Amino acid sequence: MAKLSIRDLALQNKTVFLRVDFNVPLANGGQQITSDKRIRASLPTIQYALEQGAGLILASHLGRPKGKWNAEMSLAPVAVQLSKLLGKPVQMASDCIGPDVPKPGAGEVVLLENLRFHPEEEANDTEFSKRLAAQCDVYVNDAFGTAHRAHASTVGMIAFVPQAAAGLLMDKELQWLGKATRNPDRPCIAILGGAKVSDKIEVIQNLAKVVDKLLIGGAMAYTFLKARGEATGKSLVEDDKLELAASLIRELGDKLMLPTDHIVTEEFRAEAPNETVTVIPDGKMALDIGPATIAAYEAAVASTKTIIWNGPMGVFEMKPFDKGTVALALAVANSGAVSVVGGGDSEKAIKSAGVSDKITHVSTGGGASLEFLSGLELPGVAALTEK
C-alpha cells in the first residue's frame, strides 16, 4: 500500500517531528564532521517543511553510545553544520525528551540530542515513545537507513501521533526500490557481489522471482563455483553453504551468470603479482573477475532496461583488483537503463568510478536497502499511515 507523504500533510503552524539520519562520521573526539552527505540528503524535506510554515523538531541517532551520554557522539556539531547549510539558526537541545527541549515556532528548527543516549530508544519503550510523540502534531520519517529498525523513534511513537508520513528522501527510496523490485522495465538484471552467499541468500531468492538475469561477482561467486565442482584454490569459500549454492544453481538455471575467468594472486595485498586464469590453481586466490567475465557482464548490462546492483565484483578497495567493479560501474552508468544501487560498498564503488551522477538512484540505506531487496517489510515503513 502507498504511504502518506509529507506533501499530503497540512503543515502550517504545526510542530513536525522529523526523524532524520544524521549518523555522520566524526573525528577529533566527536568535534569534526568528516562527511556531511547525510545532512545534505535531508535538506529537501527540511526546507519543504519550513516553507510550509511548520516548526521542526529534528531527531536522529549517532553512533552506538549504548544508552548513555557520550560527548563524542553528541549531535551538537551537526546543529552547527546544518545551520550553515540552511542559512538560519538551528537550536540544539540538551536532551531528546523532557522540559529542556524547546518547542519551535513556525519556521524554527530544533535538533534533539542523540536519541540513543536513552536505552529506551532501541528498546522501543512505550513510555519513551509517548514522550517523544507528545512534542509534536505530526510525524515524518525521512531516515530510510534506519527503517529496518523497530525503535521508538521509527516505530513506537507512531502509535501516539495522528499522522505519520514519509519524507521526500524516504519517498524517493520507496519509489525507486519498489519499481525495480516489483514492476521493472524489462529486460531486468541484478548484479550481486560481496563476500558471502549467506549475506545475500534472501536477496538472491527474492530477486530471482523478478529479474531476467542474475550476475554474480565478488568472493560469493567462488562458493557457487565450488558447488559446481570447479577449482577455487585459496579463494574465500563458505563450505557450509555449498549445498545451498548448488540448490540455487539448479533453481536459477540460465538466469544465473557466474565468472568464467579470474584475476588470481598468491597473497592478499595491494600490487601483489597477479595473472588471469580460467581455472584457479591450488595456492592462489581470486580477488577480481577477469576480462572475459567483464565483457560478458558488460554485454548483459548494455542490453537491459533495469539494473539492480548490490555489492562489488572484487576487492575494489585494493588496486589492481578494482578493475571489474569499476568496469561494471562504467557500464551501468552508460547503459541508459534505470539503475538502482544499494548502499555501502556499492556506493563507494560507483564513486571510485566517478559515475555517481549517472546512476538513477543510489540508496542511502545499506542494511535497509538490502532488507528491501530481500522482500522483507521494513518496520519503519510499515508503521507509516497509509493513503
Domain boundaries, the chain: 6-169, 176-373
Question: With pLDDT > 70 as the criterion, what percentage of the chain qualifies?
Answer: 99
| Residue 1 pLDDT level (bands cut at 50, 70, 90) | low
Q: 377: burial class by Cβ within 10 Å (0-12, 13-18, 19+)?
A: exposed
Cβ neighbours of residue 209 under 8 Å, at least 6 residues apart? none
State residue 227's pLDDT score: 96
Q: How far apart (Å, rounded) are the C-alpha atoms in residues 282 and 261? A: 15
The full DSSP string for 214-283 is: EEE-STHHHHHHHHTT---TTS---GGGHHHHHHHHHHHGGGEE--SSEEEESSSSTT--EEEESSPPTT
Cell 520519517 belongs to 141
Summarised one tens digit per residue, pLDDT across range 131-163 is: 999 999 999 999 998 999 999 999 999 999 999
Q: How far apart (Å, rounded) are the C-alpha atoms in residues 120 and 133? A: 14
Angle subtended by helix axes 76-86 and 37-51, to nearest 10:
60
Q: Which three cell numbers stand for residue 377?
A: 517489510
What mean pLDDT, rounded, does the chain reach? 94
Where does the chain show beta strands of DSSP type E?
15-19, 26-27, 32-33, 55-59, 91-92, 109-111, 138-141, 164-166, 188-192, 213-216, 256-257, 262-265, 274-277, 285-289, 306-310, 338-341, 361-362
CA angle at residue 169 from 164 to 172, to 5 degrees? Answer: 100
Of the residues 145, 290, 344, 380, which is catalytic?
344
Is there a catalytic annotation at residue 269? no
Are the beta carbons of 183 and 209 closer than 8 angstroms?
no
Cβ neighbours of residue 270 under 8 Å, at least 6 residues apart? 318, 319
Of the residues 179, 196, 305, 348, which is catalytic?
196
Cell 533453481 belongs to 251
Are the beta carbons of 361 and 341 closer than 8 angstroms?
yes
Q: Smallest Cα–Cα separation from 23: which of 97, 109, 116?
A: 116
Of the residues 30, 63, 107, 367, which is catalytic?
367
Residue 343 clears pLDDT 90, i.e. is over it:
no
Question: With pLDDT > 90 as the criterion, what percentage of the chain qualifies?
Answer: 80
Summarised one tens digit per residue, pLDDT across range 203-227 is: 888 898 899 999 999 999 999 999 9
| Residue 201 pLDDT level (bands cut at 50, 70, 90) | confident
Structural fold of domain 176-373: Rossmann fold (3.40.50)
| Residue 183 pLDDT level (bands cut at 50, 70, 90) | confident
Summarised one tens digit per residue, pLDDT across range 48-70 is: 999 999 999 999 999 999 999 99
Of the residues 38, 131, 234, 323, which is catalytic?
38
Residue 344 clears pLDDT 80, i.e. is over it:
no
Is there a catalytic annotation at residue 38? yes
Q: Is-same-fold flag (6-169; 176-373)?
A: yes
Peptide bond into 187 cis (omega under 30): yes
State residue 381's pLDDT score: 94
Q: Which CATH class is domain 6-169?
A: alpha beta
Summarised one tens digit per residue, pLDDT across range 311-325 is: 899 998 898 999 999
Residue 346 clears pLDDT 70, i.e. is over it:
yes
Summarised one tens digit per residue, pLDDT across range 257-303 is: 999 999 999 999 988 899 999 999 999 999 999 999 999 999 999 99
